[in-house]
Chain A
Amino acid sequence: MNQSAKMIVVLSVFAVLSGAILAGFYHSVHPRILKNKLEEERKMIFAVLEGSKSYDTVEKTIKGAKGPEIVKIFVGKDESGNIVGYAFTAKGPGFAGTIEVVVGLKLDKKTMFGLRVLNQKETPGLGTKIAQEKFTGQFKGLSIEPKIEYVKNKKPTKPNEIQAVTGATISSRAVVNAVNARVAAVLDILKEENAPPEAEEGGANGRR
């Protein structure tokens, strides 16, 4: 019986020590980890909202395809505190995994500032081209009405069209679908939150 008791005691002591060490270490580095996450968020937002120097976050829970989802809208502001635009993330299934993008929406809520790809695991050399400026640059000033569309192997003709990456239609389409799906929810939330009315001169100072 002594052996078993010894085993239990030793393991328990180890377990408690382990827990204590981990708890202590975690709490000492946790603030740093949070800071990193925040820094990442800031970089992402400022990349798609030109001219913004700070932002507020609007969070809302909506009914998603998989149950309740939290949607975050980042309201970017310039130095004077005027709203510059709205940023939000969108994600959807791509060719080989989930693609996540961040979108910048202009004050008029009809055109985009631009888009950046945050996470993707698409086929290197093909699908990964969606992360390059050649593809994402097309979203600068793109109209989102009635919805974003893509064309293959020819130049886009309408203000809401972009050209898919040759040989990576599925990846390109995933980006378009993800943005379209999310934009509707974002516009709804903005309407509810009584976002400032559309800018008359299309600038950061557009406020009635």
Chain B
Amino acid sequence: MRLILIFISAAVVNNFVLAYFLGICPFLGVSKRLDTAVNMGFATTFVMTLTAVITWLLNEYVIIKFNLPFLQTVSYIIAIAALVQFVEMFIKKSSPPLYRSLGIYLPLITTNCAVLGLALFASLREYSFIESVFFGVGTGVGFTLALIVMSGIREELDFAEIPKSLQGVPITLLIAGMLALAFMGFAGLLSV
């Protein structure tokens, strides 16, 4: 039950993008079209889940065991960079069309604050292994959700007349603000 709560909390109530401001760069950059948004979302969710697993193992069997808290940030980011590299090679070999459609966005997942953020939060909250996994999937789904909603709206915006100064980033941010306001309605839905 608690696992379901963690998942829903991460995906909706405490959405990484709209409540914690993680993953904003890809959120602003990739949310123009629905199909790229979906691809990016799934790829990121995949990486985030694996990251949750690896960083939990790293934390448990290296950082905590040998009492090296100062190596946490460094080791996490290296693990993430290596993971993304492997995922990239794997996708390149197993599905070239998918690799082509993701293009530059795949390596950019390394610098996605949401990935490192997920690892740090999970360690901070001292989640167990299975809790971390659910948290990883949940945050990834939340990120994807925000991306999909935003891209859906932006595709509609193509037909609107937006003042020149607001075109591009500003209007996206304003919309994100309204989305964040809407998502705040979920607060208090459940407490984890």
Asked if A and B form a direct contact in the complex, defined as CB atoms under 8 angstroms apart, the reply is: yes
Contact yes or no, B187 A96, CB < 8 A: yes
Q: Are A22 and B74 in contact, with the CB atoms below 8 A?
A: yes
Which residue from B69, B74, B188 sits with its C-beta under 8 Å from A18? B74
A114 is an interface residue with CB less than 8 A from chain B: no
By a CB distance below 8 angstroms, the chain B residues around A94 are 191
Say yes or no: B188 contacts A26, CB within 8 Å: no
The CA-CA distance from A97 to B35 in the complex, in Å, is 34
Contact B187 A93 (CB under 8 A): no
**B70 A22 Cβ-Cβ under 8 A:** yes
Give the distance in Å from the alpha carbon of A18 to the alpha carbon of B192 in the complex. Answer: 37
Per the bound structure, the CA–CA distance linking A22 and B63 in Å amounts to: 13
- Closest chain B CB from A99 CB (angstroms): 10
**Closest chain A residue to B125 by CB distance?**
A98
- Cβ of A95 and Cβ of B191 under 8 Å apart? yes
* Bound Cα distance A56, B99 (Å): 61
In angstroms, how far is the closest chain A Cβ from the Cβ of B73? 9
Check: A23 CB closer than 8 A to any chain B CB: yes
| CB within 8 Å of B: which A1-57 residues | 18-19, 22-23, 25-26
Q: Are B188's CB and A95's CB within 8 A?
A: yes
How many interface contacts (CB-CB < 8 Å) are there between A and B?
24
* A66–B192 alpha-carbon span in the complex (Å): 12
The yes or no answer to B71 lying at the interface (CB within 8 A) is: yes
- Closest Cβ–Cβ distance, residue A175 to chain B (whole Å): 13
* A204: interface (CB < 8 Å): no
Asked if A170 is at the interface of the complex by the 8 Å CB criterion, the answer is yes
Tell me whether A61 is interfacial, beta carbon within 8 Å.
Answer: no
Check A205 for interface membership: any CB of B closer than 8 A: no
In the complex, the answer to whether A93 meets B70 with C-beta atoms within 8 Å is no
Which chain A residues numbered 80 to 100 have a C-beta less than 8 Å away from chain B? 93-97
A123 interface contact, C-beta 8 A: yes
Contact A170–B70 (Cβ < 8 Å): no
Complex: A20 Cα to B70 Cα, angstroms: 10
A:90-127 near B, CB below 8 Å: 93-97, 123
Give the chain B neighbours of A22 by CB distance below 8 A.
70-71, 74
Tell me whether B192 and A25 are in contact (CB under 8 A): no
Is there contact, CB below 8 Å, between A96 and B70?
no
> Are B192 and A93 within 8 A (Cβ)?
yes
Alpha-carbon distance between A66 and B1 when the two chains are bound, in angstroms = 12
Give the distance to chain A from B12, nearest Cβ to Cβ, in Å: 13
Contacts of B187 in A (CB 8 A): 95-96, 123
Q: In the complex, which residues of chain A have a beta carbon less than 8 angstroms from the beta carbon of B192?
A: 93
CB distance from B126 to the nearest CB of A (A): 10
B residues with CB within 8 A of A: 2, 68-71, 74, 187-188, 191-192
Binding site for B on A (CB under 8 A): 18-19, 22-23, 25-26, 66, 93-97, 123, 170, 174
Closest 6 CB pairs of A and B: A93-B191, A26-B70, A22-B70, A95-B188, A96-B187, A170-B188
